[in-house]
Structure 1
Amino acid sequence: MQVYSSSLIIDKQAQLPVYIQLANQLMAMVKAGTLQPGHRLPSTRQLATWLSLHRKTVIRAYDELLAQGWLQSHTGSGTFVAGHLPVTKPRPLIHNSPDVAKIAGFSIKEAPHLQRKIVDLNIDLHLDDGFPDTRLAPVTELSRAYRTQLLTGNPYTRLGYADPKGSEWLRTELATYLNITRGLRVTPANILIVRGTVMGLYLTCTGLLQHGDTVVTAEPGWAGAEANFLQAGANLLKVPVDEYGLDVDRLDELCSRQTVRMVYVTSHHHYPTTVALRPDRRVRLLELAQKHGFIVFEDDYDYDFHYQNKPLMPLASADDAGMVLYCGAFSKSISPAIRVGYLVGPENVIEHLGQLRRTIDRQGDSMLENAMAELLQNGVIQRHLRKSLRVYQQRRDFFCGLLNDNLKNYVQFKVPEGGMAVWTYFDSGIDLNRLAQNALKKGLYFQGENSPLSPNFTRLGFASSTPTELEQCVAVLAKLLEK
Structure 2
Amino acid sequence: MPVDRQSTTAVYLQIAHQVINAIQRGFLSGGQQLPGTRAMSLLLQVHRKTVVAAYEELDAQGWITSLPNKGSFVKPALRKTAGKKKLDVLGLTGYPAKTGFPFRNSNILDVPDETPGLPLMLTDGQPDYRLSPTDQLARYYTAALRRKVNRKHLGYSTAPGDSFFKRQLSNFLNSTRGLHIAPQNILVTRGMEMGMYLAARTLIDAGDIILVGSPGYYAANMTFQQSGAQLKTVLVDEEGIDVEAVERVCKKHRVRLLYITPHHHYPTTATLSAQRRIALLKLSVAYGFIILEDDYEYDFHYQSSPILPLASADTDGMVVYLGSFGKTLAPGFRAGFLIAPDNLIAAMQKVQAIIDRQGDTIMEQVLGELIAEGEIHRHLKKVQKIYYERRNHFCETLAMQLGNSVSFSIPPGGLAVWTKWEQGQNLLRISKACATQGLQLPQFLLYQTRELSAMRLGFGNFTPAEATIVLDMLKQAAAQASGYRFE
Task: Report the TM-score, using the length of structure 2 for normalisation.
Answer: 0.91
* Matched residue, 1:23: 16
* Matched residue, 1:455: 452
* Comparing 90-99 and 32-41, the one that deviates more: 90-99
Does the aligned pair in 2 maintain the 1:164–1:357 contact within 8 Å? no
1:423 aligned counterpart, secondary structure: strand
Matches within 5 A, 1:412-427: 412-427=407-422
1:451 aligned counterpart, secondary structure: strand
* Residue 11 (1) aligns with residue 4 (2): yes
2:355 aligned counterpart, secondary structure: coil
* Residue 285 (1) aligns with residue 265 (2): no
Does the aligned pair in 1 maintain the 2:25–2:87 contact within 8 Å? yes
Measured in 2, the distance between the counterparts of 1:80 and 1:463 equals 65
* Residue 320 (1) aligns with residue 315 (2): yes
RMSD over equivalenced CA pairs, Å: 2.3
How many angstroms does 1:345 deviate by?
A: 0.8
How many angstroms does 1:124 deviate by?
A: 4.8
* Matched residue, 1:230: 225
Does the aligned pair in 2 maintain the 1:164–1:358 contact within 8 Å? no
Deviation by residue 1:209-263 (Cα, 9 ceiling, x = unmatched): 2222221111110110011111111111111112211112221221222222211
Measured in 2, the distance between the counterparts of 1:364 and 1:325 equals 21
* Matched residue, 1:87: 81
* Matched residue, 2:399: 404
How many angstroms does 1:442 deviate by?
A: 2.0
* Residue 166 (1) aligns with residue 161 (2): yes
How many angstroms does 1:127 deviate by?
A: 3.9
Does the aligned pair in 2 maintain the 1:129–1:447 contact within 8 Å? no
Cα distance change of structure 1 residues 208 and 98 upon mapping to structure 2, 3 Å threshold: farther
Does the aligned pair in 2 maintain the 1:164–1:354 contact within 8 Å? no
* Matched residue, 1:255: 250
Cα distance change of structure 1 residues 467 and 29 upon mapping to structure 2, 3 Å threshold: closer
How many angstroms does 1:98 deviate by?
A: 8.4
Does the aligned pair in 1 maintain the 2:428–2:446 contact within 8 Å? no
* Residue 440 (1) aligns with residue 448 (2): no
How many angstroms does 1:12 deviate by?
A: 3.5
* Comparing 263-272 and 60-69, the one that deviates more: 60-69
How many angstroms does 1:164 deviate by?
A: 6.3
Measured in 2, the distance between the counterparts of 1:123 and 1:52 equals 43
Does the aligned pair in 1 maintain the 2:427–2:446 contact within 8 Å? no
1:261 aligned counterpart, secondary structure: strand
Does the aligned pair in 2 maintain the 1:297–1:324 contact within 8 Å? yes
Give unpaired runs (5+ residues) of structure 1: 1-7
Cα distance change of structure 1 residues 13 and 307 upon mapping to structure 2, 3 Å threshold: closer
| Aligned residue type for 1:472 | I
Does the aligned pair in 1 maintain the 2:22–2:92 contact within 8 Å? no
Cα distance change of structure 1 residues 112 and 466 upon mapping to structure 2, 3 Å threshold: same
Does the aligned pair in 1 maintain the 2:191–2:337 contact within 8 Å? yes
Query: Which of 43, 59, 65 pairs up with 1:66?
Result: 59
* Matched residue, 1:297: 292
Cα distance change of structure 1 residues 75 and 155 upon mapping to structure 2, 3 Å threshold: farther
Cα distance change of structure 1 residues 407 and 163 upon mapping to structure 2, 3 Å threshold: farther
Matches within 5 A, 1:35-74: 35-74=28-67
* Residue 267 (1) aligns with residue 262 (2): yes
Deviation by residue 1:399-433 (Cα, 9 ceiling, x = unmatched): 22223333222111112121111110111222222
1:241 aligned counterpart, secondary structure: strand
User: Percent of pairs identical after alignment?
Assistant: 39
| Aligned residue type for 1:144 | R
* Matched residue, 2:344: 349
Measured in 1, the distance between the counterparts of 2:258 and 2:41 equals 69
How many angstroms does 1:99 deviate by?
A: 7.0
1:408 aligned counterpart, secondary structure: helix
Cα distance change of structure 1 residues 313 and 122 upon mapping to structure 2, 3 Å threshold: farther
* Residue 465 (1) aligns with residue 462 (2): yes
Q: How many residue pairs end up in the alignment?
A: 476
2:148 aligned counterpart, secondary structure: coil
Deviation by residue 1:198-218 (Cα, 9 ceiling, x = unmatched): 111111111222222221111
How many angstroms does 1:118 deviate by?
A: 4.2
2:123 aligned counterpart, secondary structure: coil
Give unpaired runs (5+ residues) of structure 2: none
Measured in 2, the distance between the counterparts of 1:54 and 1:479 equals 62
* Matched residue, 1:209: 204
Does the aligned pair in 1 maintain the 2:168–2:372 contact within 8 Å? yes
How many angstroms does 1:339 deviate by?
A: 0.7
| Aligned residue type for 2:439 | L
Measured in 1, the distance between the counterparts of 2:312 and 2:104 equals 42
Task: Report the TM-score, using the length of structure 1 for normalisation.
Answer: 0.92
